[in-house]
Structure 1
Amino acid sequence: MRERSYFGTYAVREDELPGLRGLTHGTTLHGLQFADPERAREPTTYYTRTSGVGLALGNSVALAGPQARIGVIGLGVGTLACYRTPDQAYEFFEIDPAIVAHSRDGTFTYLRDCVPDAAIHVGDARLELEAMRAARFDILVLDAFSSDSIPLHLFTREAFGIYRRAIDADGLLLVHISSRYVDLQPMIAGLARANGMQAAIREDLEVYATGASPSIWVALSPDPATMAVLRKTGGPGAWQDLPPPPDRVWTDDFASILPFLQWDNVLGRGP
């Protein structure tokens, strides 16, 4: 299946040999799901159990309790839904109704199988969160790339201030920064410092399992105790410190990706 929405062109493809169905948006893979019912709830691609978000959500009871409130910016095919434990509440934020349709019409069944009662807010997540005002989440996941394009308005000092207010004082923010062309690590370090949060990075790059993808996730929290618990997940060395921050962070008035481009990949000279 192939279709176009206001936000781009989507394709749903099936690979019969490993038994996977996937959704792509331009050059970005938004998710895969196994056709085998026994594996249909297994997290795949950038969201596997060894990824940064997998380690955090897989240990969400230890991090945030059995009734944790979890928000996800960027629905994809709904993969993260199946990390839910019975008493946790999930909410999703998605700007494109076409993505919501694929996750609700049976094309992908993560939502139906794991959080059929989840609230889905259709619209710009930054505006939706800003309207909420009070802290709402114990864990908030930011996963909003679009066909290798970085939504800069979601990566400014002001935007991270909104995320900081959207989580509790001991809450956790998880940011997906896997990109072929832009190294966001220094900028996220700067945004963490500007908003009074500690940060650690999980690079899950040597991935060989079927349906899994290399990923880079950054975890941020205003609470040192939360970060201490998170750093114990995945074993020694799973979480590392970020590189030094830049002199200037992105703001709503100024943002440039030029200093952070991985030029070998941009020019086609990368591995």
Structure 2
Amino acid sequence: MATVTADLPDDDAPCPTSAPAGFGAAAAAVLVFTSSAAVLVVEITALRLLAPYLGLTLETSTLVIGIALSAIALGSWAGGRISDRVDPRRLIGQTLGASGVVVAFTPAAVRAAAEWAPPTLLLVATLTILLPGALLSAVTPMVTKLRLTDLTETGTIVGSLSGVGTVGAIIGTVMTGFVLIARVPVSAILVGLGLALVLSGIVFEWRLRAWNRLNAVGLTAAVALAGLAAYSAPGGCDAETQYHCVRVVADADHEGGRTLVLDGIRHSYVNIEDPEVLQFAYVRAIASAVETAFPGADPLQAYHLGGGGMTFPRYLSATRPGTQSLVSEIDAGVVSIDREAFGVEPDSGIAVRVEDGRIALRRLPSESRDVVVGDAFGGVSVPWHLTTREALEDVRRVLTDDGVYVANLIDHADLEFVRAETATLATVFANILVMGERRNLGIPSQTGVDGGNFVILASDRPVDPVAVQSSLDARSTAWGVLSGDELTAWIDDAAILTDDFAPVDQLLTPNRPQT
């Protein structure tokens, strides 16, 4: 009888099909779960890292999601190809360790690029999502290869590992969005995740008795260096909330002055010693609109969509004693900063609820407010669901017959968004005034359009545009007012925004200044 012999596989030969000792279903599930969860943690935190530099917009979210999906596709393909050529047992630990190092360096890399080399930001951001995402996504096909020891169980093994990976992605998403970001700085999340991945790789190799002490020390040292770089890199935050990177900047020229900076954008200026100080022109325009509509100092019932630094609610409390302001602010972290840094207290007549403004509008009684102020922003854009005709009809419902809606908007260049929002308001309210810098409104003797803030006043009763202009002039805003036929011509054929069609980010994006 002939004897058949087989050579042991060399490094480049296809890997054996038997699972390694100690590498069973539980170990496979842990590896797939961990790597899949880590991909989603990286994706969600990348949105937070990029928001201060690219804005918290639909385009930023689409970019990050697209890169993450590309990473998953690339990693799955590459991991499967490599597993057919090299024993995955030699690669899984190294893959986890390498992904951990890249993840840990992500905060420092993104912030350094944004501050010191802005043209490279998109490239750096792409690599910091693509590389770890691809490495982590390669783990699943490697593990699957090791588990496929019996072709009669192929469907069971592939299906179960796919399910475990999906559960891991869900847990990674939920834990990051609901727990981690609310309690831990983004830098700490990524450095901590990087360390966890490195340790996972070391443990895997130790179980296979392929542990290399020098490699383990090197990877751990790299993560430690990444942590140091993350906390010394520029662009840090005083606090990271569920929605924003927050800084409070003291005014060097005025002892009580404080500026609230959200994702790199100056949102509010507050003078904690004198709430009647209104530094930003758009806040002075809001004050002019309200004071023209309601002369004198009688108290008002006001509702504010968006809180920021609570500049205008504090102003109303100071100038109109007895005014009751209800504020809907979606970010609990910003509310905490308002109380701690700016001294906003409930007994000042300002009640703050942590909630989404559109949902809160539905709960307000009809004809219960004299003034509604719209000053909610995600990045440089008003959240689209607060701009639609349906949302504005709810605003109209909660206003008294003499009530006014005053909204702060930002737009640039062709002004497609602000003209669309004005056109939408005109379908709900009988009278509209638009305030802004004269060159942006096409007022005679002024030329050029570069955008900025606009304030719109909408009501069912006439508000004298001449009186509004006089108030603006008295406040040294250098702003103008559009109304009547001039406003109709300025709106032109702008689109009407509805819940079914409100491309706010797209209207803004072609006109947004380059960062």
**In structure 2, what is the Cα distance between the partners aligned to 1:30 and 1:201?**
21
Match for residue 430 of structure 2?
197
Match for residue 210 of structure 1?
none
Fraction of identical pairs, as percent: 19
1:56–1:90 distance in 2 versus 1, CA, 3 Å: same
How far residue 79 of structure 1 moved from its aligned partner, in angstroms, is 0.7
Residue 108 in 1 paired to residue 328 in 2? no
1:17–1:88 distance in 2 versus 1, CA, 3 Å: closer
Greater strand proportion: 1
**In structure 1, what is the Cα distance between the partners aligned to 2:504 and 2:428?**
20
How far residue 117 of structure 1 moved from its aligned partner, in angstroms, is 3.0
Greater helix proportion: 2
**In structure 1, what is the Cα distance between the partners aligned to 2:514 and 2:325?**
40
1:262–1:124 distance in 2 versus 1, CA, 3 Å: closer
In the alignment, structure 2 segments of 5+ residues that lack a partner are 1-236, 440-451, 474-478
Query: 2:497 is matched with which residue: 235, 250, 256?
Result: 250
Match for residue 221 of structure 1?
459
Residue 55 in 1 paired to residue 288 in 2? yes
**In structure 1, what is the Cα distance between the partners aligned to 2:249 and 2:426?**
41
Query: 2:322 is matched with which residue: 79, 84, 87?
Result: 87
Residue 240 in 1 paired to residue 487 in 2? no
Residue 99 in 1 paired to residue 338 in 2? no
How far residue 231 of structure 1 moved from its aligned partner, in angstroms, is 4.4
**In structure 1, what is the Cα distance between the partners aligned to 2:286 and 2:338?**
20
* Residue deviations 1:102-152 (CA, integer Å, cap 9, x gap): 1112x113x34x962322122011111112241211111000012213300
Q: Which runs of 4+ in 1 moved over 3 A?
A: 17-20, 57-61, 179-182, 245-248, 257-268
**In structure 2, what is the Cα distance between the partners aligned to 1:189 and 1:179?**
12
Conserved 8 A contact 2:282-2:455: no
**In structure 1, what is the Cα distance between the partners aligned to 2:275 and 2:365?**
36
| 3-state SS of paired residue (1:52) | helix
- The code of the aligned residue for 1:201 comes to V
1:264–1:175 distance in 2 versus 1, CA, 3 Å: closer
* Residue deviations 1:205-256 (CA, integer Å, cap 9, x gap): 79xxxxxxx74201000122xx23x641332884212322546311111122
Match for residue 209 of structure 1?
none
1:71–1:257 distance in 2 versus 1, CA, 3 Å: closer
Match for residue 9 of structure 1?
245
Higher alpha-carbon Rg? 2
1:264–1:185 distance in 2 versus 1, CA, 3 Å: closer
**In structure 1, what is the Cα distance between the partners aligned to 2:366 and 2:468?**
29
In the alignment, structure 1 segments of 5+ residues that lack a partner are 207-213
**Scaled by the length of structure 1, what TM-score is found?**
0.80
Conserved 8 A contact 2:241-2:334: no
**In structure 2, what is the Cα distance between the partners aligned to 1:128 and 1:92?**
10
How far residue 198 of structure 1 moved from its aligned partner, in angstroms, is 1.5
Conserved 8 A contact 1:57-1:83: no
**Scaled by the length of structure 2, what TM-score is found?**
0.44
**In structure 2, what is the Cα distance between the partners aligned to 1:134 and 1:93?**
17
